[in-house]
Chains A and B, each alone.
Chain A
Amino acid sequence: MNSTLISPANSSYLGIPGTVLFVLIPAVGALVFTYIMAKRFAPLLQMQHDPRLNQLPNRFSRLLKFGIFQWRQPRYMFAGVLHILLFSGFMVLALRSTALIFVGVVDGFHGDFGVVYGILKDIAATLVFIVAFIAMVRRGIFKPKRYEVPSKYGKDHTGEAVLVLLLIIGLVTCDMMFEASQAAAQIQNGFEPQQMLPTTGPWVFTLLFAGVTPSVLQTIHLSSYLLHELIFFSFLCLLPFGKHFHVITSLPNVFLGKNRKGIIKPVLWGVTDEELDALDSIGVKKFEDFTWKHILDFYSCVDCGRCADNCPANAVGRPLSPRFISIKCRDYGFKRYPLFGEKGPEDELLIGTALEEDEIWSCTTCGACEEECPVMIEYIDKIVDVRRGMVDEGMVPQSLQKPLSALEKRGNPWGKMEKKRADWTKEEEFSADYPIKIIDGEETAETLYFVDSITSYDDRMQDLGRATARILTDAAIDFGILGVQERDSGHEVGRFGEESLAQMLREHNTEVIKESGVKRIVTADPHAFNALKNDYKDLPPVEHISQTILKCVKDGKLSFKPVEDSTKVYTYHDPCYLGRHNETYDDPRQVLDAIPGLQTAEMERCRDRSFCCGGGGLMLFFEPEEEQRMGVLRVEMAQQAGANVIVTACPFCLLNIEDAIKVAGLEDQLEVIDLVELVDRQILRD
């Protein structure tokens, strides 16, 4: 290339030779950056063990899909597309920015990588410029609600976002001016400059610089380079101070994410259930009780608010926002491990400093936040871990102590008698036509119907038990129940942090199920389904009734008569533990589609964006601070979808939605029915 301007490496700034200055800036920048990063990552070594290097193919494909291809970004279309453009721009410009560092040091090096890359990076720089500008207008002027910071969580974060966008704009502008000043000088001297794509930023600047005198071009050339280097290294060193830390941590965070859904992490990795009793303390009480990956999560939070925007607890005004769990803990960690000076107080508890009790109990573990997070931050494991710590300290709301004690003594949260667990089978009309086998050593069966507590004891939910039993019988499935031998699956017990009790319940049920000799398990309660499938070990395969029904329909074992009233519109509400946690979205929908004449409509929030009804298990007993019920919001969504009937596939959803319809005063417009009741109603019987 014909260089008509003195290159930064060949010039001097205020008497300092370029080669010295441009070794100095990167050297100081790199040093400061390394120091900050070392300080940020040193605490991770003190955190709990968390094995994250298993199943590498799975991890790489996730990195590709969610990291490189930004899979979740378009879930928020406008912001998502902006981010994808910005991200791909950054990817292209990374090489250029690195190369530019050497331009100031090595005379004669221009940081070029051929015409194709030259054009590509001009496009990228232009895109980044435009996108950053739009993003800045969006954040600074339009201020989408999602980014608001409620006053209890501190000051507005707009400044931080806009500052970083300004730095990005500065960075690409300097690069463009650096390149354009050279090109303009070359044109003035009759040389052919490097090819530029018309309408890209460097091309525009070259046009603008056409009439500028050579000496001014020289000044622009040198000062834009200096400014580029200064901004570049300030930006780098600024990253680990806020949400832009994600530029560094998010790809590793996606790679190191959780491999399996539906499970909760063990109390401590590498410690068996039997060894738990010997530990002095369990759960997360202070910052260092988190695992290192959980700290990486905090560092990776982009403050985008998508989690909170989808969180049902946040939507009803409970004191919980997943976003601020991350932001508060990140800031707490920064303060606890400062860049200079001493670590924070050794025994300081998180509850009362970074977190609050009610905040942690407010979570229904629905998983909407985790489903949405573009950088795959885990919330449920952290919340469960903090609950474990609170349970260990005795910090459990009175409203939950009774059901927990009843679960310990009677194996169900209502404290009902064990011997009455199978009473739902004894209803006269039902028992005459459908005698239910109780697998107790004498009787055996191929399939176990695991009923769980709410269906066993709640008056209304017993209907679901009977409907399920009728369906299984009509499909000619050889099944039985455990009766008095069954205990609560302990699904919420574990998720509310009482791991030892959950363990007791699991051990009991596992033993009884194994002794029963059944070949498979069916349940109509997604919470039991998730527990048996994901929390329990070494059980026969577990199915949700919707899966069983669909198979029977496909095999021709069950067929349906047309609906009586074909004007009614049905909408399916995905239970969290069937949908998000176990990705069973289609089976229940296909069952609905198999019913002749049944009209369906989807709610806007369906499938993996389903909105929790209010939570199951122990959540029924918890008395949260809230402005309204989650269920009420949910039935309003069904109404908006134009539905007359909400179909769900979970007794807790049914209970919450039934209540919500009454609270919302929509009894004459909406009804709710469980999938098993609907199927039971529609089965074609001889």
Chain B
Amino acid sequence: MEILVCVARVPDSAENEIEVNRDGTDIDRDSLVYSVNEWDNYAVEEAIQIVERDGGSVTVVSVGDDESEEILRREMAMGADRGILLSDDAFEATDGRGIATILKAEVEKGKYDLILTGAQADAGAGEVGGMLAAMLDIPYASLVNSIEVVNGQTLKVGREIEGGNSEMNKITLPCVLSIQTGINEPRYVGIRGIRKVASVDIPVHGAADLGITGDAVAPHVHRQDYFVPELGDGAEMLEGSDEEIIEKLIELLKAKGGLK
């Protein structure tokens, strides 16, 4: 099975202190560290596991700048066979629909049986997978937490639904699936693994290579403002050392009947 996994480079919320910048147009990007979007990492692991069981190959693709190459290499160190970077000045300010448009152009250049995206990205809106499927006019399942290959034409996929329940679906190939975390346990990628793929060639496709114009990816959604919500009534910030905060929290939980 030929699988394409769409991955994004995002600031990792676990290793950064995310703050809104002074004019509210973006987060403060000084001294941020980036990694592959967590959901996408699960998608790549799933693709690798499918290929390990049933054969085929895994291609990872990312829309981004030169620095996104680093996450493509990480996913290749994990076991993806190829990486493709989609990069062009025209792509810089694009929105979700624009990213789906760029990805669609790349998908059409190859012959993929299955396209995976993360269910959402740390910085995103969880919109690309669905739009990409619609643009390609192929089936789509979201929030997928299990995949079983039935045969060359069909997959059985589990989806996470309300209340932690699962629903099982049959879906025909080719299709797009957006992958939920927890579908597997992604393998570790060590420093040595990354160094080993450091010199593998990663082709870069620009707007011209993909046959799309700047207009096609011009944003229709414009970000207006970022802000930290005002403290409302009923919200209380606990202050002090960790110990003190924990003690206060326990007291509060006890007082409100949350802890017996």
Flag if B15 contacts A498 (CB, 8 Å).
no
Chain A positions within 8 Å of B193 at CB level: 392, 394
Q: Contact residue range for chain A? A: 20 to 34
A391 near B195 with CB under 8 A, answer no
Which one of B188, B189, B241, B242 has the highest number of Cβ atoms from chain A below 10 Å of its Cβ? B188
**B contact face: mostly helix, strand, loop, or mixed:** loop
Q: Is the CB of A406 within 8 A of B14?
A: yes
| A395 is an interface residue with CB less than 8 A from chain B | yes
Give B32 Cβ to nearest chain A Cβ, in Å: 10
Minimum CB distance partner of B242 in chain A: A459
Decide if A415 touches B191 in the complex (CB within 8 Å).
Answer: no
B interface residues, tally (CB under 8 Å) = 24
A401 adjacent to B188 (CB under 8 Å)? yes
B-contact 0/1 string along A391-413, CB 8 Å cutoff: 11111101011101110111000
Chain A residue at minimal CB-CB distance from B33: A409
A396 to chain B: closest residue by CB:
B188
Contact for A392 among B17, B186, B190, CB less than 8 A: B190
A-B contacts counted at CB < 8 A amount to 67
**Cβ of B17 and Cβ of A417 under 8 Å apart?**
yes
When each residue 99-126 of chain B gets 1 if its CB lies under 8 Å from chain A and 0 otherwise, what string results? 0000000000000000000000000000
On whether A498 and B191 interact (CB within 8 A), knowing A394-B78, A406-B14, A459-B242, the answer reads: yes
Contact among A400, A404, A410, A503 for B33, CB-based, below 8 A: A410
Least CB distance, B247 to chain A, in whole angstroms: 12
Give the residues from 63 to 107 in chain B that come closer than 8 angstroms, CB to CB, to chain A: 78-79
Residues 513-543 of A contacting B (Cβ, < 8 Å): none
A277 on the B face (CB < 8 A): yes
Question: B172 contacts the other chain (Cβ, under 8 Å)?
Answer: no
Give chain A nearest CB distance to B227 CB in angstroms.
Answer: 23
Taking CB atoms, residues of chain A closer than 8 Å to B186 are: 398, 401
Given A409-B35, A500-B195, residue A394 in contact with residue B14 (CB < 8 A): no
Residue of B17, B31, B191 with most partner-chain A CB within 10 A: B191
Does A410 lie within 8 Å of B189, measured CB to CB? no
Is A419 engaged at the interface, CB distance under 8 Å to the other chain?
Answer: yes
Q: Which of A408, A417, A504 contacts B31 (CB 8 A)?
A: A417
8 Å CB interface, A466-490 against B: none
CB distance from A492 to the nearest CB of B (A): 15
CB distance from B42 to the nearest CB of A (A): 11
**A398 x B185 contact (CB < 8 A):** yes
Chain B residues in 8 Å Cβ range of A398: 185-186
Let me know if B196 is at the binding interface, CB within 8 A: yes
22 example contacts (A-B, Cβ-Cβ < 8 A) are as follows A277-B192, A391-B190, A392-B190, A392-B192, A394-B78, A394-B190, A395-B187, A396-B188, A398-B185, A398-B186, A405-B15, A406-B15, A417-B17, A418-B31, A459-B241, A459-B242, A460-B242, A460-B243, A498-B191, A500-B192, A501-B190, A504-B191
Which residues in B have some Cβ–Cβ distance to A below 8 Å?
12, 14-17, 31, 33, 35, 78-79, 185-193, 195-196, 241-243
Chain A residues within CB distance 8 Å of chain B: 276-277, 282, 391-396, 398, 400-402, 404-406, 408-410, 415, 417-419, 459-460, 498-501, 503-504
14 more contacts with CB within 8 A, not counting A415-B14, A415-B16, are A282-B192, A392-B190, A392-B192, A394-B190, A395-B187, A396-B187, A398-B185, A398-B186, A409-B35, A459-B242, A459-B243, A460-B243, A498-B191, A503-B191
